[in-house]
A = this chain, B = another copy of it.
Amino acid sequence: MARLVYERADLLPLLGEVFREHGFEGASLAVISRRTGLGKGSLYHFFPGGKEEMAAAVLAHVDHWFETQVFRPLREEPDGRRAITAMLEATDAYFRSGRRVCVVGVFALAESRDRFAVKVASYFSAWIDALAGALGRAGHPPDDARALSEEAVGLIQGALVLARALDDPAPFARTLARLKARLVPERPAP
């Protein structure tokens, strides 16, 4: 058989999609095997810890993506408005304008939250912290910035739930547009 996967890292995007679509409980080794094209032998070769290790690797992979593409720019870009605009664009791209849900959110709602409690919690708190900082640099008063950041991150997650529930990505797109207007108004925040 042709060798399609050369590295463990090549598997992570595929595994990510499987867990995103099925959740942890619903992602059976059978569907993982089918979607990756790898037998159990290969899967356990790359992930001796089994399904739990696969899910942990996916969470770490997602966290790393957001850390480098979203959180760090939010923290380090001196221009707060530019940082927030970039975050909204990256978010829109990552979630495919609402056609993709958040695997961390999926894990958070189900039983699997307890198993991955630390990673799930740190993902959201890192996002809120980084965005609050950028909002502060964009001119929002510190007290507002924190509340606004929490609201924005929650709004994104809620819009993903809504988009999936209604089977329509439009609510997510509208939410991002409203968020942009609120977080980065045409005239800098008072």
Which residues of A are in contact with B by a Cβ distance under 8 Å?
21-23, 25-26, 101, 104-106, 108-111, 113, 117, 120-121, 123-125, 147, 150-151, 153-162, 164-167, 171, 174-175, 178
- Cα A6 to Cα B167 in complex, Å, equals 38
A110 and chain B: residue at smallest CB distance: B23
- Given A109-B23, A110-B106, A111-B26, A117–B150 Cβ distance below 8 Å? no
Query: Which of B105, B155, B166 is in CB contact (< 8 Å) with A109?
Result: B105
A116 to chain B, nearest CB (A): 10
Q: How many copies does the complex hold?
A: 2
- Given A106-B109, A111-B21, A153–B162 Cβ distance below 8 Å? yes
A28 and chain B: residue at smallest CB distance: B25
- Cα A25 to Cα B26 in complex, Å, equals 6
Residues from chain B with a CB closer than 8 A to the CB of A147 are 174, 178
Interface centre among A21, A109, A155, A164 (most CB of B within 10 A): A109
Q: Check A154 against B171 for contact (C-beta < 8 Å).
A: yes
- Given A110-B110, A151-B175, A155-B158, A165–B22 Cβ distance below 8 Å? no
